[in-house]
């Protein structure tokens, strides 16, 4: 039961973060929302009994990809036209 | 219109992922219907001998408790070599595109919490990464997750300290030495056993740290390689032109 509740909350959070990442004009918040989405997805992987994928998703999706995007935004522009 | 279509697709995906949770597959149910895969298009039953062989015989053949690692490194080791090559090519491309002759690091002070917190977290991040790739044949994880955890530890230091810098030559030496170790172990398999990346070390007792033949050796090499590659990518992105 508690797994199902965690799953609902995590899936809702992932969808909200993903929609926000697409819709916002601020690219920095968009990158951070993408990091939140992949962190939540990594928790979902853990609940779905794929711990190795969860470790990879948490470190690459949430940390390194977000850092790459943030540094790229720092080299270009922050606001979408 | 496009927004509503996107929301509809997202809700469909949401319903799909929830429907997976409703029937969770328990750990021990591989004797059941898990690998009796029936093709929905032409109704044929797939050849189930390969997956059931992996599940039943991995422990005896390779000595690895973690069957995923055994498949990735031993049964499908050549694919892993290709995967490592892809990552190497990506790192080379990034350093080629972002090459700067007169470089300096971005000088922007981080706040106190990031600075002091990173001092505490860095050793644990390095230790966790090393643990993940050394125990790749026993616990979930392996070279790629371990290396990326180590790289995220370096990323934390790069974020916290403006002057933090890892020598690029050292990173590339670590990378090339560990990549060569991977290929040399594979060639030793060709020499001492029958084929490339074949196990030539005694398997040992499954569940012990020193077991599973060449799997821990290869995963230690991959862990160092992936960690140094991802660290060099992140550091290259941080540099700015003077």
pTM above 0.90, yes or no: no
Same domain, B129 and B25: no
- What is the value of ipTM here, to two decimals? 0.82
Distance CA B171, CA B230 (A): 10
Encoding tokens for residue A47?
């609940």
Smallest Cα distance from B194 to chain A, Å = 30
Same domain, B69 and B50: no
Same domain, B184 and B149: yes
Does A52 sit within 8 Å of B141, measured CB to CB?
Answer: yes
- In tens, the pLDDT along B190-230 reads 888 787 888 888 787 777 778 778 888 888 899 999 989 88
Smallest Cα distance from B42 to chain A, Å = 30
| Exposed/middle/buried for residue A50 (C-beta within 10 Å: 0-12, 13-18, 19+) | middle
Same domain, B230 and B161: yes
> For chain B (length 242 residues), average pLDDT per consecutive 10?
88 81 56 53 62 76 82 84 89 84 68 87 90 86 87 87 81 88 87 81 79 84 90 83 60
- In tens, the pLDDT along A68-81 reads 888 888 888 888 77
Sign (positive or negative) of CA dihedral A81, B4, B7, B12: negative
Chain B contact probe: residue of A6, A39, A63, A75 with most B CBs at under 10 A: A63
Same domain, B40 and B111: no
Give the angle B224-B225-B228 at the CA atoms, nearest 5°.
Answer: 80
Smallest Cα distance from B10 to chain A, Å = 7
Does B24 sit within 8 Å of A18, measured CB to CB?
Answer: no
Supply the range of the domain harboring residue B53: 1-62
Three-class DSSP labels, B135-187: CCCCCCCCHHHHHHHHHHHHHHHHHHCCCCCCCHHHHHHHHHHHHHHHHHHHH
What residues in B contact A52, CB-CB < 8 Å? 68, 140-142, 145
């Amino acid at each position: 039961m508690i797994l199902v509740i965690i799953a609902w909350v995590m899936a809702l959070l992932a969808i909200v973060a993903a929609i926000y990442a697409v819709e916002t004009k601020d690219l920095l918040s968009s990158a951070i929302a993408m990091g939140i989405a992949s962190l939540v997805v990594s928790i979902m992987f853990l609940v779905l009994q794929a711990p190795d994928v969860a470790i990879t998703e948490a470190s690459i999706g949430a940390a390194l990809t977000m850092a790459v995007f943030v540094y790229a935004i720092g080299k270009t522009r922050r606001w979408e036209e | 219109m496009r927004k509503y279509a996107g929301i509809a697709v997202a809700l469909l995906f949401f319903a799909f992922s929830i429907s997976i949770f409703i029937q969770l597959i328990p750990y021990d149910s591989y004797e059941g219907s898990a690998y009796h895969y029936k093709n929905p298009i032409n109704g044929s039953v797939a050849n189930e001998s390969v997956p059931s062989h992996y599940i039943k015989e991995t422990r005896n053949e390779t000595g690895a408790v973690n069957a995923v690692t055994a498949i990735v490194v031993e049964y499908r080791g050549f694919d892993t070599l290709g995967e490592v090559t892809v990552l190497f090519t990506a790192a080379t491309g990034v350093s080629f595109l972002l090459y700067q002759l007169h470089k300096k690091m971005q000088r922007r002070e981080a706040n106190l919490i990031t600075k002091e917190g990173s001092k505490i977290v860095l050793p644990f991040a390095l230790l966790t990464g090393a643990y993940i790739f050394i125990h790749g044949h026993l616990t979930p994880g392996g070279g790629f997750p371990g290396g990326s955890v180590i790289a995220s530890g370096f990323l934390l230091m790069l974020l916290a300290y403006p002057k933090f810098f890892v020598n690029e030559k050292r990173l590339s030496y670590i990378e090339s030495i560990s990549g060569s170790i991977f290929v040399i172990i594979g060639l030793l398999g060709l020499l001492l056993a029958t084929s490339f990346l074949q196990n030539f070390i005694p398997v040992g007792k499954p569940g012990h740290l020193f077991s599973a033949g060449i799997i821990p050796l290869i995963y230690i090499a991959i862990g160092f390689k992936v960690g140094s590659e991802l660290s060099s990518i992140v550091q290259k992105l941080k540099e700015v032109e003077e």
